[in-house]
Amino acid sequence: MKGTLLITGVGQRIGWHLAGHLQAQGYQIIGTYRTRRDSLKRLEDQGVILIRCDFNQAEQVDALIADVQQRAPMLRGIIHNASDWLPDGSADQAVSRLHAMMQVHVAVPYQLNLAFEEQLLASDTTADIIHITDYVAEKGSRKHIAYAASKAALANMTLSFAQRLAPRVKVNSIAPALILFNDQDTEEYKVKARAKSLMNKEAGVAEMLQSVEYILNSGYITGRTLAVDGGRHLV
């Protein structure tokens, strides 16, 4: 076995594919989810350990930490994937919206990294923390200001934790753009979204799977961001 990886937000989409793929690669995955879905049974059948946790509920985060510390004296890594892509609301929603974005994208990743520092350092091979950020962390976003700001904070934590945990733990970000559309996305939206990058396409989940594996298999890369964005910065 290649060691135990904690992945947050495995209930659907990229996190769900990451959990199944890395479990099949020989890691023992511990995955967090918030909403129970039939699709989770396929992960359970593969041997993925699932722990329900809503990051807005402090007692559930504390219970998650205690559970993982008991299950995994050593951690090969943590992949912070859980995320809420909320648009900005009205001014009277501003503070609660920013708090919600900071909670899921910054506060809980910060808490989990500190809570599992000992387990990561105890790994018998170099361990990894991977923060899944977003291209907009460097560019900003007109309609997702709070979301982008929180992803920028997550990206900054990559720099800090990389310095704190080297050389036994590597810490990197993956900054995607347009990996996977959402079911509600209209064709008009899809045309506009694809056109925002040079590659003019929806990347697909495989781009994220291979990006995570690239970082996990590196013995040297740390404190960096892997941009998986189709050349958006050049359009």
Ligand X SMILES: Nc1nc2c(c(=O)[nH]1)N=C([C@H](O)[C@@H](O)CO)CN2
Ligand Y SMILES: NC(=O)C1=CN([C@@H]2O[C@H](COP(=O)(O)OP(=O)(O)OC[C@H]3O[C@@H](n4cnc5c(N)ncnc54)[C@H](OP(=O)(O)O)[C@@H]3O)[C@@H](O)[C@H]2O)C=CC1
What is the set of active-site residues? 147
For the chain, the helix, strand and coil percentages under 3-state DSSP, each to the nearest 5: 50, 15, 35
The CA distance from 217 to 234, in Å, is: 29
33 binds ligand Y (CB under 6 A): yes
Find the shortest distance in angstroms from Cβ 127 to ligand X. Answer: 25
Taking the C-alpha atoms of residue 84 and residue 197, their distance in angstroms, rounded to an integer, is 23
Site membership for ligand Y, residue 104 (CB under 6 A): yes
- Residue choice 134, 152, 208, 222 for contact with ligand X (CB under 6 A): 134
* 55: contact with ligand Y by CB under 6 A: yes
User: Least Å distance between CB 123 and ligand X?
Assistant: 28
Q: Among residues 128 and 134, whose Cβ is nearest to ligand X? A: 134
Q: Which of residues 69-108 bind ligand X (CB under 6 A)?
A: 83-85
- What does the per-residue mask of binding to ligand X show for 160-189, with x meaning CB under 6 A? -----------------xx---x-------
Q: Supply the minimum distance, in Å, between the C-beta of residue 1 and ligand Y.
A: 25
Q: Count residues contacting ligand X (CB under 6 A)?
A: 8
Hunting for tokens 């985060």 — which residue is that?
A: 61
- Listed in sequence order, the residues at least 6 apart from 108 whose beta carbon sits closer than 8 Å to its beta carbon are 8, 55, 61, 82
Q: Is 184 in the site for ligand Y (CB under 6 A)?
A: no
3-state secondary structure of 110: helix
Give the torsion through C-alpha atoms of 149, 153, 156, 161, to 10 deg: -160
Task: Please calculate the CA angle 214-220-224 and round it to the nearest 5 degrees.
Answer: 70
Sheet with 127-132: strands ordered across: 49-52, 28-33, 4-7, 77-80, 127-132, 169-176, 225-228
23, 28, 83, 113: which one binds ligand Y (CB under 6 A): 83
> CB under 5 to 8 A by kind: which of ligand X, ligand Y, none does 33 bind?
ligand Y
Residue 12 interaction partner, one of ligand Y, ligand X, none, beta carbon < 5-8 Å per kind:
ligand Y
Q: What is the rounded CA–CA span in Å between residue 5 and residue 232?
A: 30
Q: In the complex, which residues of this chain contact ligand Y (CB under 6 A)?
A: 9, 11-15, 33-35, 53-56, 81-85, 104, 132, 134, 176-180
